[in-house]
Amino acid sequence: MKDDPAGINHEERDDREVREEDGQDMARLGRLIGLAVAACVVIATLHAQTLSGPALIKSLQVGGHVIVMRHASSPRDVPPNPNPDNVPPERQLDEKGRASATAMGDTLRRLKIPIGEVMTSPTYRARETARLVRLPNPRPATELGEGSGTMQAVSPAQTEWLQKRVKEFPRGTNTVLVTHVPNITAAFPGETPAAAEGEAFVFGPDGKGGARLVGRIRIEDWTSF
């Protein structure tokens, strides 16, 4: 091909322009891919974040959560003078446990956090917790009960039941399950530290058909909201 008066080969110039355009297109595509990846990372991070303080309370006020709660403070020994309805005598809440459970219930009502279905371990201290929080219509569930002995490992069937139950999200209310620390630890081993007495684990949908931990509230912290 003939060169132009400036001595530039037209075919070479066309090839060079095409290569430059291709390079620009690839650069633009790379930037778009980078932005898309960054957006996915941000969304995933936000989705995985747990809530606390006012944000967690607002989420509970909307409903749609399952709250897995350890019973309130209870000494390891059976009291020498048990409550009249604690028959046959077993562990029950101490003064701290009774006060914190009552205060938690007062806060739930003050903040208008809707509570729907309530299930508790059959143990007296779990049922006493639900009664003092004034949770509506609590029903004992053997699946939330203790193992063969105090602080003993729970059965695989109990663990599977609890893992499944936290995926059953209500509409407009919050489900409450009152149980024991071995049950919570066995069902959710990745959540550390272990649940303190009276602590609530709040679960919500993970967007994939499962459940994720939305937040944790220690029983003594309810009054701070």
pLDDT digits (tens, 9 = 90+) for 97-113: 999 999 999 999 999 99
Amino acid at 111: L
pLDDT given at position 217: 97
Whether pLDDT at 41 is above 70: no
Are β-strands 174-179 and 139-140 bridged in parallel, bridged antiparallel, or unpaired?
Answer: unpaired
Global pTM value? 0.78
Report the Cα 112 to chain-centroid distance in Å.
20
Average pLDDT, the chain: 86
Provide the 3-class DSSP secondary structure of residue 120.
strand
pLDDT tens per residue, range 151-187: 567 999 999 999 999 999 999 999 999 999 999 999 9
10 Å Cβ neighbour count for 98?
Answer: 19
